[in-house]
Structure 1
Amino acid sequence: MRTKRVMSAIAVAAIAGLVVSACGSGGDDAGSGSQELNLGLGEPKNLVPPNVGESEGGEVTRLVYSGLYTYNNDGSLKPVIAEGQPTSTDNKVWTIKLKSGWTFQNGEAIDANTFKKAWDYTVYGPNANSGSYFFNKITGFADTQSGADPDGDGPQKGAEPKAKELSGVKVVDPTTIQITLDTPWVVFPALLGYTAFYPTADACRAQIEACNEAPIGNGPFKFVGKWEHKTSIKLEKWSDYKGEQPSYQKLNFTIFTGSNNSQWAPFEAGSLDIAAPTPDKYESAKQKYGDRMIEADSPSTWSLGFPSYDNIYKDPKVRQAFSLAVDRQGIIDAIFTGRGKPLATFIPTMIPGYTEGTCATYCKTDPAAAKALLDSSTWPKGKKVELWINSGGTGEKILKAIGDQLAKNLGVEYEMKNIEWNDFLQKKQDHKLTGPFFTGWQPDYADSENYMGPLYYSGAKDGSDNDFGYYNADFQKLMDEGNAAPTIAEAHAKYTAAEKILTETLPVAPLYTGRTSTVIGDKIDFKSVDRNPILGGIDFVKIKLK
């Protein structure tokens, strides 16, 4: 199972618990014989596939929808609606065969044309879908984008696009799709399991706001009623699903927001079924639950992001100084009792394309060098640092610890800016944060490119996850060369060279990766729990209840 993504600071407990958002239970007698699984969740930003770009929305969407592929535990593609793997002779033209007989939960049939219509809707500029950039290497993408925006209010207000359809997507027959890229890209098939490529029903696109509140999916679960914002999302098994069926009937998400986000107490009280203990409860949880705690290295990365679009943070020396002033191991020891790994790269160790020690120069603690760099930079003397975070969760403690270290090692004062998750996301995307911010990333697919391309390619507000306003021509050239490489090995060599530019210019200061500690409640058959070791997360469809 995979989830994208930009992660909330509420999910930072994942370093001591469950990756992403699915959390939740067990009191010792949490409902034997129940046909309901109860989980915790942060408030999603969106539930329509082309607009799902963060951990909470992704958790729900991948249960309600199914795409061409999902991901195996090694990160490789696992066919769902697709019949076999994508094929190509040149890495430029890709052909995908589909299975027959799939439908949406409203009865609409799913065939090759369904995917084309969904993807055309996703990329059409006036629709302003945040996931459209995942199609940007498909021929004709540029023609579907809105023109210049004279008012500066976003692409949806610009000139009409030249085209409404992707010319690079062809329906060969009802069970065959052909995708043509502008240039060869050996990594492209890995994207096809991501939520932006999920199909959407005609009825959903016709009333997109209503579909966001009560999705018309095609996955193993369907909505019961509507999304009760900041309260709950209730799902039930869809008996007509053509893929793997869950063995239980209902899946309930309780939504936690703001400072009221700890799911450990509800777990211990028996109202949730899987949970990540908070760092201060880790030792007692390990003793109490023993073998029912799953511990594993996490593919998520956590960093201090810099608003490179702000004149104050454009100087790389400022970013380098801040990075050298942070004691990564000290934060891990103090907040996570040593359970985590300082990042000296932009890529976690388990991800294909990882190269050791690429950020050895600036991803360490050196207060003297940090102070010297800041003094020689354009940093205004006496300026107070504004540190941004979404309210609630362990992330607040981490950012405060960073602020204390900046004050101690650089002699700068700081102020915390705490806002709700959706507001925080919007300000990040709109480039309106006025100082460094705590940011996390969970991969969409298992390749080093995914930790760089979506995040740092192009400094424009183009719908990508480049929330930093970062732009470097040499970095982009190397990424382009990697994308065009004929083999994965050659692509990774170029991506590593691109990563080394990031480690010098630091759009973010890499901080750490975590070690997850997830407790499975007694209501669940422990042998049925399947966690993806590369992309993180538990496969809730496979879970069996006692």
Structure 2
Amino acid sequence: MVAVNGTEPQNPLVPSNTNENGGGRIVDRLFAGLRYIDAKGALHDEVAQSIETTDQQHYRITLKPGWTFSDGSAVTAHSFVDAWNFGALVTNKQLQSYTYQPIVGFDDVQADPPRAQAMSGLTVIDDLTFTVDLTAPTIDFRTRLAYAPFYPLPAVAFKDMKAFGEHPIGNGPYRFADGNAWQHDVQLTVVPNESYRGGRPARNKGLIFVFYSNFDSAYSDLLAGNLDVLDTVPDSAIRVFEKDLGDRAIQAPSAQNQWIGFQANMPHFSGEEGRLRRQAISMAIDRARIGQKIFHGTRIPSRDFTSRTLPGYDGNLPGAQVLDYNPEQARRLWAQANEIAPWSGRFEIAYNADGGHQAWIDAVANSVRNTLGIDAVGAAYPTFKQLRDQVVHRTVGKAFRFGWQGDYPTMLQFLEPSFLSGSETNDVDFHNAEFDRLIAAAEAAPGEQESWRIVGQAQTVLLRELPAIPVFDYINSAGYSRRVHNVVQTWNGLADFENIELR
């Protein structure tokens, strides 16, 4: 068994209701979708035999024969269609329901009360074939099919979904270990799934996800030989981890970033006054210095709202100068905002204390305070859940740390959930018709190059309005023990779990 770090999943392990890292890394081991993403970010068909479309709007999907779930039941077209319909239906309250929005009939199952129980854009042709109709051409839909909400579910899941999530039955490279596999708040154990037929079979005898409340404890266990793989080295060890681990230390860029967000009900941060203040704060942050001092170069100043590891990334977009450290311009912008309404109060940045964010948030607050001459401080919340609850319910009342870790490797996947009108994860309440139109145009583009060009235009709108402040991209630091080898970091900063081998 290989011991890897993790965190207690927030919910039972249902793919359409798992939207956080701790549960996501487990769900992706237990299930196989139509496609999968390899460590380098390349896509491969998995359960899909073919995904045919002539217009990026109407799809015919054929499954490979012979796939089964780990309980022996067959993976069929209904396994996918029924799972997607369950995930989309508003009464099921699935956290990932927004991902089905492009499918015809989504609005009907999301109505309150729902006008239908299933999306009309999904049609089962036979056991191995189904069709998908979208409301508009969607260039990255084939890529999205590798994402967890599009995984299949066995028929038994729909009898009691909550109970199923406590002991899920999937079709992926691993299955739950026999016995007490999930020891809540302690660990979860998976073993190879003998019936898996895809391109990422387990090369080890199983994984033990050990749940940690902080990375310092995990790093201590790694050094002591009690943990085999740690995908995030804590800030406290960045300076020494390469010396500690030698050739077992890993550093590589990953599709992750950090932002500072604002909600419209925050005093002084709505309208033109708010836009000027956000621009001023952005230009008051010395990203390069903080990235070097706190993270020893493992955080890079953001140049856009996505990640430099993604296809089509452009670090020289019009308006990107708002992300430059420019104290003089920051003070001028702050003064312009004061002409609209004089500043009063304290500028606070909320962060979760259990995520290793205090040092850089305090450094950002210091940079803002020293540049603008205002009282700026970090505001700690004990847990990620406590912070997220206030952000989601719009009661946080202050700026807040948030970020994105890629679920599939497209720039649109970073932009749409966080900034598109109507998205349930648009925590900054950004609503801009020009941005929405450009995103729709990027999705409808005939090819990737054209789509990337339009994404750049959409990001120019974000850089002008600055609903959130991009701060850092990641160079992820990880490490592993002497017990294992062939440890590789994936495109989005996780371990390539299936390919880890014991020595």
Q: TM-score, normalised by structure 2?
A: 0.92
**Corresponding residue SS for 1:105:** coil
**Corresponding residue SS for 1:452:** helix
Q: Which residue of structure 1 lines up, in the alignment, with residue 141 of structure 2?
A: 188
**Aligned AA for 1:291?**
D
The farther-off stretch of 508-517 and 277-286 is 277-286
Distance 1:485 1:228 in 2: 47
The answer to whether the 8 Å contact 2:476/2:493 transfers is: no
Deviations 1:489-517 (A, max 9, x none): 22111111000000111121111112222
Match of 2:188 among 233, 240, 249: 233
Task: Compute the displacement of 1:41 (Å).
Answer: 1.2
Distance 2:131 2:14 in 1: 24
Match of 1:292 among 235, 248, 253: 248
Deviations 1:344-392 (A, max 9, x none): 2223222112112224321011223223322322565331123211122
Match of 1:165 among 98, 113, 118: 118
**Aligned AA for 1:529?**
V
Task: Compute the displacement of 1:204 (Å).
Answer: 2.1
Distance 1:446 1:312 in 2: 36
Matched, 1:301 2:257: yes
**Aligned AA for 2:496?**
D
Task: Compute the displacement of 1:103 (Å).
Answer: 2.1
**Corresponding residue SS for 2:397:** coil
**Aligned AA for 1:54?**
E
Matched, 1:333 2:292: yes
Distance 1:228 1:136 in 2: 35
Q: 1:166 to 1:294 in 2, by over 3 A?
A: same
Deviations 1:214-253 (A, max 9, x none): 2222222222425333222222222232334323323111
Deviations 1:309-364 (A, max 9, x none): 53532221121121111110111111112233211222322211211222432101
For structure 1, the residue ranges without an aligned partner over 5 or more in a row are 1-35, 148-159
Q: Which residue of structure 1 lines up, in the alignment, with residue 69 of structure 2?
A: 104
Task: Compute the displacement of 1:466 (Å).
Answer: 1.0
Task: Compute the displacement of 1:415 (Å).
Answer: 4.9
Deviations 1:254-285 (A, max 9, x none): 1112x575411011111100124333423432
Deviations 1:31-59 (A, max 9, x none): xxxxx110111232232100111222111
The answer to whether the 8 Å contact 2:138/2:443 transfers is: yes
Task: Compute the displacement of 1:520 (Å).
Answer: 2.2
Distance 2:358 2:159 in 1: 40
**Corresponding residue SS for 1:101:** coil
Q: 1:448 to 1:260 in 2, by over 3 A?
A: closer
Match of 1:454 among 417, 421, 430: 417
Seq. identity, %: 28
Q: 1:412 to 1:230 in 2, by over 3 A?
A: farther
Q: Which residue of structure 1 lines up, in the alignment, with residue 458 of structure 2?
A: 498
The answer to whether the 8 Å contact 1:126/1:146 transfers is: no
Runs of 4+ in structure 1 deviating by more than 4 angstroms, as ranges, are: none
Match of 2:372 among 407, 410, 416: 410
Q: Which residue of structure 2 lines up, in the alignment, with residue 145 of structure 1?
A: 110
Distance 2:341 2:73 in 1: 58
Q: Which residue of structure 1 lines up, in the alignment, with residue 21 of structure 2?
A: 55
**Aligned AA for 1:186?**
I
Q: 1:433 to 1:261 in 2, by over 3 A?
A: farther
Task: Compute the displacement of 1:288 (Å).
Answer: 3.6
**Of the two structures, which has the highest relative contact order with CA contacts closer than 8 Å and spacing of 6 or more?**
1
The answer to whether the 8 Å contact 2:251/2:477 transfers is: yes
The answer to whether the 8 Å contact 1:302/1:439 transfers is: yes
Task: Compute the displacement of 1:468 (Å).
Answer: 1.2
Aligned residue-pair number: 491
**Corresponding residue SS for 2:131:** strand
Distance 1:201 1:242 in 2: 16
Distance 1:227 1:430 in 2: 30
Q: 1:428 to 1:212 in 2, by over 3 A?
A: farther
Distance 2:298 2:164 in 1: 41
The answer to whether the 8 Å contact 2:280/2:334 transfers is: yes
Q: 1:73 to 1:251 in 2, by over 3 A?
A: closer
Match of 2:351 among 365, 389, 412: 389
The farther-off stretch of 425-434 and 475-484 is 425-434
Q: Which residue of structure 2 lines up, in the alignment, with residue 116 of structure 1?
A: 81
Match of 1:87 among 48, 52, 57: 52
For structure 2, the residue ranges without an aligned partner over 5 or more in a row are none
Q: Which residue of structure 1 lines up, in the alignment, with residue 360 of structure 2?
A: 398
**Corresponding residue SS for 1:234:** strand
Task: Compute the displacement of 1:89 (Å).
Answer: 0.9
**Corresponding residue SS for 1:301:** strand
Matched, 1:371 2:331: yes
* Aligned Cα root-mean-square deviation (Å): 2.0
Distance 1:215 1:416 in 2: 38
